[in-house]
Amino acid sequence: MDLGDRLYSCDDHLDMWTLPPDLWQARVSPTLRDQAPKVVRMNDMDMWVGNGKPLGPSGGKMMNMYSAITRAGIRDDSGFRASTPKLRLEDMDRDGVWASVIYGPSLFGLPLGDAGLKAECLRVYNDWAAEFNAYAPERLAVLPVLTTHTVDAAVAELHRCAKMGHRGAIVFVFEIDVRQPEWDRLWSAAEETGLPLSFHIGAGLHLVEPVPKSWQMACYSACCPLQLDEPLSVMIFSGALERHPRMRLVLAESGIGWVPYFVGRLDGAATKHVPNATDYKLKAKPSEIFKAQVLATFEEEPLGPQLIPLVGADSFMWASDYPHPDSTFPHSGVAIAEAFAGLAPEVRRKATAENCARLYKFA
């Protein structure tokens, strides 16, 4: 696969505060309009409110406080630059990024308190995402979000999204119990559609919360990638991945650091405990399953030259994380040079272009 010097970013964002204020009100069914998310003025700030619950700020003020765009000196007075395809592409060009896989609308789901309302709102978001991608389908891939209140609903939405041309899908893994055999129907659907499923960091912590201007924010930021250890371990040891060998799982924003250690620990645990299992007994080593079916995304990785070879470049995909404040934008080239210093050019190409392009069928 010859992609030249193109960069493919596998974990960027469209957060609630960047979304068009009329996204849901203009699209949901009239019977749900009163409960669906809307922007209202509260305490001199535009706020998203859904089903009577505050969901966070909307627009400029939040972006000015929490954005790699404004940090880079780019004007974003309205706060909606990231959700405007033309302007987003300008920023991608500024950073040397050809294609972007985009996560939204929230790392914590849509806490609307009503499963039917949430399912309808996610359908609306997924429809809008397909329209967003259509602006530059060879470059933009906002991933749809699967409703998780029932397995049947998740499966149906995955098939619907596949028919719309989406390239993958997000599962809010901390909303479900992946240990339950019923979720095998979703893993089967992922095989049938050929769409990779993503587990993104965000929830899973119990002691700290992402509180702005608090020490807890630093604690949360340091710990949240490691929360994907349990879902990954379950997907491997329960046989979910082994029974569905064509399924691909993405650990989004997991980073690299803990992964080699954990994959090695999975192999060690398998040696000690799998022979005694009576419910499911793995046939392959966990590390073999990981290398065949799992990819992890990362942004900056100072120890990349030491860590990437421990698992292999086929298992990793670079990401800019635009427009979050810890994004490498607009200096992604510097971060990439550091992460791959001393490694062969083909290693860099795999992790910054080829793996992403192949997984999401960009080329």
Question: How far is residue 291's CA from residue 354's CA, in Å, rounded to a whole number?
Answer: 16
Question: How far is residue 251's CA from residue 317's CA, in Å, rounded to a whole number?
Answer: 10
With tokens 């990785």, the residue in question is: 301
Is residue 182 within 8 A of residue 209, CB to CB? The reply is no
Amino acid 112: pLDDT: 93
Mean pLDDT, the chain, whole residue set: 94
Inform me whether the pLDDT recorded for 61 exceeds 80.
no
Instruction: Identify the DSSP state of 352.
Output: I
Amino acid 109: pLDDT: 81
Quick one: average pLDDT of 182-197? 98
Quick one: average pLDDT of 128-150? 98
Apex CA 65: angle with CA 62 and CA 71, to 5°?
Answer: 125
How many other CB atoms sit within 10 Å of the CB of residue 208?
A: 17
Inform me whether the pLDDT recorded for 1 exceeds 60.
no
| Residues across the chain | 363
Inform me whether the pLDDT recorded for 4 exceeds 70.
no
**Bridge partners (DSSP) listed for residue 101:** 141
Quick one: average pLDDT of 13-30? 95
Apex CA 210: angle with CA 207 and CA 214, to 5°?
Answer: 95
- Is residue 325 classed as helix, strand or coil in its secondary structure? coil
How many other CB atoms sit within 10 Å of the CB of residue 273?
A: 10
User: Sorting pLDDT into bands at 50, 70 and 90, what band is 5?
Assistant: confident
With tokens 């479900």, the residue in question is: 176
Inform me whether the pLDDT recorded for 239 exceeds 90.
yes
Would you say the pTM of this structure is higher than 0.85?
yes
* Structural domains in the chain plus CATH codes: 7-15+81-359 (3.20.20.140)
Tokens representing 205?
């912590």
Of 143, 230, 140, 241, the C-alpha closest to 186 is 241
For the segment 174-187, what is each residue's pLDDT rounded down to a tens digit? Answer: 999 999 999 999 99
Amino acid 65: pLDDT: 66
